Amino acid sequence: MEYRLLGRSGLAVSKLCLGTMTFGNTTSEQDSVEMIHRFLEKGGNFLDTADVYVSGRSEEIVGKAIQGCRSEVVLATKVRMQTADHPNGAGISRKHIMDGVEASLKRLKTDYIDLYQVHVWDHATPIEETLRALDDLVTAGKVRYIGCSNFFAWQLMKSLAISDMNRYVRFISIQPQYSLVSREMDREMMSLCREENIGIIPWAPLGGGFLTGRYNREEPTAGRLTSKVGESSWALRNSGRNFAILDEVLRIAGELEKSPAQISLAWLLNRQGITSPIFGASTLGQFEDNMGAVGWTLPRELYDRLDEASKLPSEYPNRFIEKFARPF
Q: Which of 319 and 118 is assigned the larger pLDDT?
A: 118
Task: Point out which residues pair with 5 in neighbouring strands.
Answer: 12
Task: Point out which residues pair with 147 in neighbouring strands.
Answer: 117, 173
Confidence of residue 326 (pLDDT cuts 50, 70, 90): confident
**Weakest mean pLDDT among 128-142, 194-208, 226-240, 265-279:** 226-240
Query: 35 near 48, Cβ under 8 Å?
Result: no
Query: 225 near 290, Cβ under 8 Å?
Result: no
Spatial CB neighbours of 52, under 8 Å, sequence gap ≥ 6: 78, 81, 82, 83, 119
Residues 30, 287: Cα–Cα separation, whole Å: 14
Pairing mode of beta strands 12-14, 3-5 = antiparallel
Give the pLDDT score at 328: 67
CB-count burial class (<10 Å; 0-12, 13-18, 19+) for 265: buried
Q: Catalytic one among 3, 53, 116, 316?
A: 53
Mean pLDDT of the chain: 95
pLDDT, tens only, 267-276: 999 999 999 9
Whether the pTM exceeds 0.75: the reply is yes
C-alpha closest to that of 200 among 149, 247, 143: 149
pLDDT, tens only, 179-229: 999 999 999 999 999 999 999 999 999 999 999 998 888 877 666 776 777
Pairing mode of beta strands 113-118, 12-14 = unpaired
Dihedral angle, C-alpha 299, 303, 309, 311, nearest 10 °: -170
Residues 215, 26: Cα–Cα separation, whole Å: 19
pLDDT, tens only, 44-73: 999 999 999 999 999 999 999 999 999 999
Query: 3 near 12, Cβ under 8 Å?
Result: yes
CATH of domain 3-209+271-298: 3.20.20.100
Give the pLDDT score at 99: 98
Q: What Rg, from alpha-carbon coordinates, does the chain have?
A: 20
3-state secondary structure 255-281: HHCCCHHHHHHHHHHCCCCECCCEECC
Does the annotation count 53 as an active-site position?
A: yes
Give the pLDDT score at 323: 83
Asked if omega into 317 is within 30° of 0 (cis), the reply is yes
